[in-house]
Structure 1
Amino acid sequence: MFKGDFPHEAINAFLRMHTAAFTPKFLQRYLLQQGIRVPAREIPDYLDMHPLVFELSGNEYVSRAGLFTAAYFSIKPSAFELREGILVIGHRCMPFADPEMLPHELQFFSGKYAISKKCMEVFSDDVLDMYRLFGEEYVPQYLALDPGNEQRDFAGNDYEIPNRINMTVCDMQPYYERWDFSSDDRLLARVADWHKGLIEIVPLKQKRSHRFESTPDDERRRFWYRCMDSCLQTAIRTYGPCGSIEEQLAFAYLGNTGLLCRPDCGSIEEYLAQTESIDFAEYGVETRLWKKGEEVYASPLWKGHMQAEFDFSDTLFAEIGIPIPEFMLDAYIFDSLYRKDKTVKNVYKRIVPETCVLDEWQVKTFLLHLESRYAILSETYNRFTDFTKAEVRRSALELYSALVKLMCELDSCGLSVDAFPQQDLVILSQLFAHTGRLIEVIVYQENLTDSDIVSASVSLEGMVGSFEDIEEVLIAVMHSKKKDAFSIIK
């Protein structure tokens, strides 16, 4: 676990701006120049878990900024966009732009001039395909975060996408007219500044003597599709489902930017429309790219039996044998303070399920840690200001406790992971991660609005429903296998 004084912000700033490959030693010297001392052995551990970093061979690393700055990619505007004189940003800049930036936060340029944006009402069916790489399960959230939909209550409508929505788009009408842009043409884009989200575009005109003529550009693009297919299949085979489709695509480009990021490239949208080898596939409650006709396999959920997919170094696993992050401990303590508990033992009971048997030293260590943290948080706790989010936090913690309890039961039952339905294990892992992220937001995000609380409650309802479905299946399998084993022994 990294100490509280670990220079997270300084390293993040370096990773967002540094575009060359680097070694941990180089980063250590950079930090030292800033007056920050970090042991060399801690840096690789931090980089290995950082979402903006890729490990190269020879003890070298490269950041996303380094991988994609100045990288070319292609956008093929749709007939709808040409007709309306717009460009829908959507997922078009994936995986080249900062994945933490929303589409409307990216800024497109033509030459030295920024392309203006406007908000317009569109039919949902005209634009949804341009958001699909975010995963169908996340499209409503991305649409809800568009400034044009600030007044629309997506959460209150259970995140159902209406027939018409408002959307922030690039106003391309003067550019399309100036370029005499047609349906055969495309936009060549380049990441000018990864940190700021600046994207340069130029038109690529397609010259044909007649509509059905195959040009040298077409042949080069067909070659690009074959290369993209090979690189993506290799990435899927090597790295599996990853954390998102965006991450799968980023791994496809890792080590292949010279081959794929070239002016005659096609777009990922076009590739996915014509490939016969890769398709969108269900991965628990999420979506991934996968080999057509095959089920997405479950990435390891257990170490031996139980292995959470998040990093154990940032949890209390070493102390108590359960992967509880520090922020989760704070959440349970805030919940206890709101309940006006008189002792930390109630907190302990909510965190550690009865099915999890700890060694005596683990119990003592954890209780000491709990008492110390409880004393610190209680000094500044304000029950009045905590009122607005207390109930949704409690509901989230109840789900989290139920998830931990089920995982402990599966871990202690003695059955192999292969004995259980893999998609249900995937959903269990995803619910564990999603619930954790939701609780972290509830605990640390200041000034949560009523809309935020409603949104969190709606998300929780869906997650609770998913959990109840898989809990029933997994427990039934566990009991069935145990009964079969008992019958054989008898």
Structure 2
Amino acid sequence: MIDFNYTQVINSYLCSQCDVFTVDDFYHYLKSNGIKATKTEIHTLLHSSDLVFPLINNQYVTRAGVFEGRWFSFKPSKEEIEKGQIILGHRCMPFVNPEIPPDEIQVYVNSKIIEKGSATFTMNFALDTFALYGEGYVIPYVVNDKANKEVSLSSVQFSLPTEVTLTSWPLEKIAGEKGIKFGDRILCRVIDWAECIVEMSVLPGSQDEMIISSASIERENWYTDFENGLLQSFDKNGPAGSIEEQLAFLYLEHQEELCIKNCGSSEEFLKHTTKIGFSPYGVETRIWRTGEDVPYIGKWNQSFSSDLLLSEMSITFTPQVIDAYLEDFIWDNLKAKKKRELSELVSVVFPGSLHLNSEERNLLMLNMEKRHDIIEKDYNQFSDFGIAPIRKRMLKLFSNVNELVCDIAGSNVSVSDFPQQELVILSQLFSHVVHLLEDVENLVLREQFPIDDVALSLSGMEETFEDIVYTLKAALESNKYKGFGLVE
């Protein structure tokens, strides 16, 4: 089994390898760096990585290989032109690493990195410029910008301020002596994907709106290609994991048509088209056909079954989740008069509807005992004091969500027979609470863990689960007995 302590070595390859490669290529790279792994494990790793796209003939390409050196552009707003500063928001999506927030992108002009600063913008403009992160993520991305010192995430539940300070880059440094005016574009390309370095220059707009230039004709054709490509991608890839991933699939499959100098931008396209727009997808947002709901089951996954739902979720079920359960178990036992048995915890983490045999359950018990002993040896009740209550709430929600997922997965009821939006929300809640548990188990960042902000987010997730649980359970019961009749 791959030791994920070698994450840095693995990511180094996946963030810098620009040529198409195979499992054998990656196997030899890992071996040369002292990492033992079977080819089956490598195959699983590559298919679960957000940094890699599988191709035909068992080949793979990294995001770095797809996006490094490819052209894209955006048009600065009047507000930015007037202030002489630009913000990036979603504008480099999907060309840069999706794990890197926009305030950490490095802008490269005339062979050097230009210094970033900060400027105050209207909140409406900021929200528009981060919109492709999707509903539920836009405001956190805006207020978590390093330049923002005034607005906290917990404060915006009451009202949004009219302005916000964001990381920005000076237009005079990008434009140089020629300057920049409203209507001009910023032409970009990533020159170092691993370091998130984006080269920028000014592409002058047409001086006379009455004159139709060859560039404007080419850009109009670009919008048509973009629209047709997205419509095709909806059928092939569905709503994907995010808007960012939808765009990544689009550019992967249509590089030659879309990555040209006279290109448009995703944000301009959405103002340009009437066929595609933002659409709710559970508690998130996707771009989809105008007037259509985004389904959980479609042409891209018609063979998806209830047991595959469980395997899809299990990919997200990480060791940090088990660690969180064990720390909560240790915390409770230190305070309790009657100690809990570890076997009780195994039943909570792995519900009965999973139908594990005794051998499998015993193996899980053995592994959890070993991990428990390791954690207990270094456990510090005092440092855990502030985290324990919020972690317990997370685990309660996770247990409820996990149990419902397991009930659905083990029911043999077709996924298409469940309410689609509620099923989407259940999947998203599972993923979101896992990410919260991973964050709370990051010991390096624990002292800075934003308990108040997380508590606010968690309250919303708990309410959302209450909104969907009875609908899904009712669908589960009604479909489970469909087709049964009384014997006369």
TM-score by length of 1: 0.90
Aligned to 1:321: none
Paired residue total: 480
Query: Which one is further off, 288-297 or 460-469?
Result: 288-297
Aligned to 2:306: 305
- Does 1:85 pair with 2:78? no
Aligned to 1:25: 24
Aligned to 1:420: 418
Aligned to 1:430: 428
Letter in 1 for 2:438: E
Secondary structure of 1:206's partner? coil
- Does 1:52 pair with 2:45? no
Aligned to 2:3: 4
Alignment of 1:362-381 (within 5 A): 362-381=360-379
Secondary structure of 1:280's partner? strand
Query: Which one is further off, 363-372 or 349-358?
Result: 349-358
Aligned to 2:269: 271
Letter in 1 for 2:185: R
TM-score by length of 2: 0.91
Report the aligned-residue RMSD: 2.6
Aligned to 1:409: 407
Aligned to 1:182: 181
Contact 2:114 2:173 in 1 (8 A): no
Alignment partners' CA distance in 2, 1:366 and 1:466? 31
Contact 2:175 2:201 in 1 (8 A): no
Secondary structure of 1:122's partner? strand
Q: CA deviation at 1:244?
A: 0.7
Secondary structure of 2:236's partner? helix
Tell me: CA distance 1:32–1:72, structure 2 relative to 1, closer, same or farther (3 Å). Answer: same
Aligned to 2:140: 141
Out of 326, 337, 348, the residue aligned to residue 330 of structure 2 is 337
Tell me: CA distance 1:421–1:488, structure 2 relative to 1, closer, same or farther (3 Å). Answer: farther
Q: CA deviation at 1:155?
A: 2.2
Query: Which one is further off, 101-110 or 388-397?
Result: 101-110
Letter in 2 for 1:103: P
Q: CA deviation at 1:481?
A: 4.9
Q: CA deviation at 1:355?
A: 5.1
Aligned to 2:319: 326
Share of identical aligned residues, percent?
A: 33
Alignment partners' CA distance in 1, 2:251 and 2:115? 30
Query: Which one is further off, 3-12 or 259-268?
Result: 3-12
Query: Which one is further off, 67-76 or 343-352?
Result: 343-352
Q: CA deviation at 1:432?
A: 0.6
Aligned to 2:359: 361
Tell me: CA distance 1:412–1:204, structure 2 relative to 1, closer, same or farther (3 Å). Answer: closer
Alignment partners' CA distance in 1, 2:487 and 2:271? 54
Contact 1:187 1:203 in 2 (8 A): yes
Alignment partners' CA distance in 2, 1:262 and 1:174? 24
Out of 240, 261, 282, the residue aligned to residue 238 of structure 2 is 240
Query: Which one is further off, 190-199 or 154-163?
Result: 154-163
Contact 2:239 2:246 in 1 (8 A): yes
Contact 1:301 1:308 in 2 (8 A): no
Q: CA deviation at 1:230?
A: 2.0
Secondary structure of 2:69's partner? coil
Q: Which runs of 5+ in 2 are unaligned?
A: 334-338
Q: CA deviation at 1:248?
A: 0.6
Encode CA deviations 1:224-279: one digit per residue, 9 max, x unaligned.
Answer: 11111222222222111111111110110114222211111111111121112221
Tell me: CA distance 1:111–1:464, structure 2 relative to 1, closer, same or farther (3 Å). Answer: same
Letter in 2 for 1:225: Y
Query: Which one is further off, 227-236 or 25-34?
Result: 25-34
Contact 2:53 2:60 in 1 (8 A): yes
Aligned to 1:70: 69
- Does 1:347 pair with 2:345? yes
Aligned to 1:106: 105
Alignment partners' CA distance in 2, 1:313 and 1:411? 11
Tell me: CA distance 1:159–1:335, structure 2 relative to 1, closer, same or farther (3 Å). Answer: farther
Q: CA deviation at 1:357?
A: 4.5
Letter in 2 for 1:29: H
Secondary structure of 1:384's partner? coil
Alignment partners' CA distance in 1, 2:412 and 2:52? 37
Contact 1:351 1:401 in 2 (8 A): yes
Encode CA deviations 1:135-158: one digit per residue, 9 max, x unaligned.
Answer: 121011111221122453212443
Q: Which runs of 5+ in 1 are unaligned?
A: 316-323
Contact 1:21 1:62 in 2 (8 A): yes
Contact 1:302 1:308 in 2 (8 A): no
Tell me: CA distance 1:458–1:184, structure 2 relative to 1, closer, same or farther (3 Å). Answer: same
Alignment of 1:32-47 (within 5 A): 32-47=31-46
Contact 1:156 1:455 in 2 (8 A): no
Alignment partners' CA distance in 2, 1:97 and 1:410? 37
Contact 1:301 1:309 in 2 (8 A): no
Secondary structure of 2:120's partner? strand
Alignment partners' CA distance in 1, 2:435 and 2:412? 29
Alignment partners' CA distance in 1, 2:277 and 2:114? 33
Alignment of 1:85-234 (within 5 A): 85-158=84-157, 161-173=160-172, 175-176=174-175, 178-208=177-207, 210-234=208-232
Alignment partners' CA distance in 1, 2:139 and 2:311? 25
